[in-house]
Chains A and B, each alone.
Chain A
């Protein structure tokens, strides 16, 4: 296996993860499940930056995605309600 084929196989896996987790983050009705899907999306995006040889952007994305947004979304959900309101 040379590096070219390996790179494209990695790209296919990361694309599957990005598309699946973003569709899940939109479609989930439970808000905590949507926050978890957003965390998985941020993880896949960080791996994509990493594979494309940009480790500083990947570190920034990991810090913001895993630490900040999850905690802030959970604090916001805790101060409001848990379920999505469907009218």
Chain B
């Protein structure tokens, strides 16, 4: 077993867990369930992106994972602000 195949197996397991999280996003009854599922999905996928950069031995494409991990936080923040304002009654 080479190290590359080990990384490939780890990345496939990460994608499997991302698929399970996406099922929670699809059937989640309330909005906060879906927001938490989206956040977990982006975190899992950022880890998978780093593993893909290790497998293909290209250090350039690890930057995409960094940019996505920073930007996905903005989306979660906006949805959370919207939900809080809606509960308080401002929106």
Residues of A within 8 A of B (CB): 1-3, 6, 9-10, 13, 16-17, 20-21, 24, 30, 32-33, 35-37, 39-40, 43, 46-47, 50-51, 53, 55, 58-59, 62-63, 66-67, 70-71, 74, 77-78, 82
> CA of A62 to CA of B8 in the docked complex: distance in angstroms?
23
Known: A37-B25, A40-B38, A40-B41. A66 touches B71 (CB 8 A): yes
Q: Total contacts A to B, CB within 8 angstroms?
A: 106
Residues from 22 to 38 in B contacting A, C-beta threshold 8 Å: 22, 25-26, 31, 34-35, 38
Least distance between A85 CB and chain B CB atoms (Å): 18
Told that A10-B11, A36-B35, A62-B71 touch, could you supply 8 new A-B pairs with CB distance under 8 A?
A6-B8, A21-B22, A32-B31, A32-B82, A39-B75, A46-B64, A50-B64, A55-B61
